[in-house]
Chain A
Amino acid sequence: MYEKHLMICGATGCLSSGSAKVQQALEDELAKRGLKEKFRLVMSGCPGFCEVGPIIVIYPDEVFYCRLKPGDIPELVEKHLLGGEVIERLLYKGPDVDAPARFYDTIPFYQKQKFNVLHNSGIIDPENIDEYIMRGGYRAFSRALKMEPMEVINEVKKSGLRGRGGAGFPTGLKWEFTYRAAGDKKYVVCNADEGDPGAFMDRSILEGDPHAVLEGMLIAARAIGSDEGYIYCRAEYPLAIKRLKTAIAQAEEYGLVGENILGYGVNFKFNIKEGAGAFVCGEETALLASIEGKRGMPRPRPPFPANSGLWGKPTCINNVETYANIPLIVREGGVEEYVKIGTEGSKGTKVFALAGKIRNTGLCEVPMGITLREIIFDIGGGIKGGREFKAVQAGGPSGGCIPAEQLDLPVDYDSLTQAGAIMGSGGLVVMDDRTCMVDLARYFLSFTQKESCGKCIPCREGTKRMLEILERITEGRGEPDDLDRLQELASSIKDSALCGLGQTCPNPVLSTIRYFRHEYEEHINEKFCRAGVCKPLFEYTIDPELCNGCTRCARICPVKAISGERKETHVIDPEICTRCGSCVERCRQEAIKVTPVRREADVSH
């Protein structure tokens, strides 16, 4: 028996901030002191709070240590593990707490969250099926085995669950279509392509609780009458793939997968396919083409995959998070509990990845219907560096920006769509006054333009034309009627593109024009980028009132564009300056300002 369990976050966020080194230090320290039998170290799934990683949570003591360094480990072992003393210096501290917070229940980041889909993440060892089962795992599946397919489907319909992959299609209905489709061979497919830049919800679920996804797929298989499934996971997620493989092998060993499952006379086999890096492969018909080993190009629907999917057979395709919701619904008494959370049209919870200029970057799970303000300010802790909130981008390249006026919007499929964004897969990127909305629109368009598969003309050509216009605006060559041109192109691409990629790619442009038209106009008419992003449209100038001649800026400038004597006002030479902004970050006086480009005429007098 172990005395204590140490859950060290082994997800990508914490790995990037050095959790592997912390883990190694801990392993070494425990080995050195002969304590490996007493204290169990688990590389767990993601507890979500990436901002303060690396994180170790210690049970049964319920202590949450963060921002750990290998150097902290000897003290942690000596004082806490052996001495039973909580080390205050390693607890969570922040402007949002009065005293160091000891555990989840006192850390503000976790206060408004509701752990449903993530209820195992960071708590169990994702590579151990027994821990999943101990927390109620596979009970929903064994219940489903005793039910008629339509009974299972009716429960999913009653739950109101809508697809978490972006479009929000009712899951129960999709299952019913696939169940009713004629065919002796049917497939269950899991979409784990997660291509939205800035989104890592699905990866966290796969890494933190892979069995939940398998169980959801097994229940789907039972409901639609399928004996084979595919998980299409991006190759960029090696840890998720490894954990899935381990989980499948364990489930096979337990007779939950394979032939004659638990004696019920049904069979199921999992296959894993690694995606090869194409955003469009997240679109369901392109994904199926890619599994078949072809170029991942979408095809027109209908026929929908429910009728003609993988190798022409009826196929039920759902997103990772959608499947992870299923065991919560199909377990005994699950639906009744499930529908208590959320709004009329959007039930349950949603996992969001919070990123950008927000204080608490990380992953959070919230009840549908919560407001954006609560997510950004209560969970996210507001804007970094006390700057001003400008907008939040939801839904990535298919979504839109939501401005400050709309922060009280409840988060559900319908309100977000009305506001010109979409629920999308769950990426929320927060922006402050130093983000240029025109540049952001250009960024998304350059992404979709590159990722356009080229099959249909509206998307292939349309994205190029829109991008050209946005590029010239950000380079100072914008023309007065460019906004009309953009809007006209946008509406025709929306109407005529073949797949969701093209149909939704104008959204980032339309929503920024809708809420930030003045920024576009300033770029076009005054050739000024107030945010200091579009390089040809501003200069950095040192405010002589504020500069105290500390020389920090001059020393950091990589191109030596700044001159000035110590204790005297410094000057930036706009001819040499590459506008990299290093000096702005460096200046403690906030003396370096974004100003309009001085033209010949201005300079001469």
Chain B
Amino acid sequence: MSSEGATAVQQHEIDLSGIDALLEPYLGKRGTVIPVLQSLQEHYGYLPRPALEYAAARMKIPLSRLYGVATFYAQFKMNPRGRNIIRVCKGTACHIQGSPKVAERVEEILGIKSGETTPDLRFTLEEVACIGACALAPVMTINDEPHGRLTPDKIKEILDSYE
């Protein structure tokens, strides 16, 4: 399901201190794989492999189990992400009001495809199934800030306003 586009970004040294405190509330309980992944991702911004290895060992479960769950759900990211997260809404209302054209324009300007990050880590481009702001269709969010009633000609200016 959620497969990540490869990025040109190097994985940096991963600081594993702090993971123990993060795992503490979940150890020895059932049904905790997803909450653990969610808090790891909140900590690192994505799921670095060394962190997954460490967590699997502490939870006494195979790494493949964590990996299998992480790659199943769209929420989990296996690569570092940009400073600004763009999400173009792919909901039905946005689709019929032109979101594909909006997405294309974003891709054109940034030179990346959905799921990818610009090499300077300025932007990550993602899709989202629906953010429920259908009155403003087509919509995209940048860092959760909504931009609505978009047309391709408005995109450049909006992107330029993010560092």
Chain A residues within 8 Å of B, Cβ to Cβ: 12-13, 15-17, 50-51, 53, 195-200, 203, 235-236, 273-279, 290-296, 311, 353, 355-357, 361-362, 393, 396, 427, 429, 431, 435, 440, 443-444, 447, 450-454, 556-558, 578, 580-582, 585
Contacts and interface: CB of A to CB of B under 8 A. Distances in A.
A203 B131 CA distance: 11
B118 interface: no
A364 to B, nearest CB: 13
A577 to B, nearest CB: 12
Nearest to A281: B73
Nearest to A531: B96
A16 B144 CA distance: 10
B134 A361 contact: yes
B61 to A, nearest CB: 10
Contact of A276 (B37, B104, B128, B133): B37
A291 B135 contact: no
Contact of B135 (A17, A292, A454, A578): A17
A236 B90 CA distance: 14
18 contacts: A13-B132, A13-B135, A16-B133, A17-B135, A17-B136, A17-B148, A200-B132, A236-B128, A273-B34, A276-B37, A276-B74, A295-B68, A356-B93, A393-B92, A447-B90, A453-B1, A558-B105, A580-B101
B72 A12 contact: no
A276 B75 contact: yes
B131 to A, nearest CB: 7
Contacts of A427: 92
A16 B97 contact: no
A293 B146 contact: no
Q: Which of B128, B133, B134, B139 has the most CB of A within 10 A?
A: B134
B1 A356 contact: no
A195 B98 CA distance: 21
Contacts of B93: 198, 355-356, 361, 429
A356 B153 CA distance: 21
A554 to B, nearest CB: 12
Interface in B25-63: 30-35, 37-38
Interface residues of B, number: 45
A450 B1 contact: yes
Contact of A12 (B74, B90, B133): B133
Most buried by B among A235, A558, A581: A558
Contacts of B132: 12-13, 199-200, 203, 353
A429 B134 CA distance: 10
A435 B101 CA distance: 14
Contacts of B31: 273, 291-293
Nearest to A582: B153
Contact of A198 (B33, B68, B130, B156): B130
Given A356-B92, A427-B92, A276 B137 contact: no
B130 to A, nearest CB: 4
Contacts of B9: none
A355 B135 contact: yes
A396 B92 contact: yes
A279 B133 contact: no
B95 interface: yes
Contacts of A198: 91-93, 130, 134
Nearest to A427: B92
Contacts of A578: 104
A429 to B, nearest CB: 5
A293 B101 contact: no
A294 B135 contact: no
Contacts of B148: 16-17
Given A276-B38, A582-B152, A294 B98 contact: no
Nearest to A52: B135
Given A13-B136, A273-B34, A429-B92, 20 more contacts: A12-B133, A16-B131, A16-B148, A50-B133, A198-B92, A200-B132, A276-B76, A277-B73, A277-B74, A278-B73, A291-B31, A292-B30, A355-B91, A393-B92, A427-B92, A444-B92, A447-B129, A452-B1, A454-B1, A580-B104
A200 B130 contact: yes
Contacts of A200: 130, 132, 134
A290 B73 CA distance: 10
Contacts of A15: 146
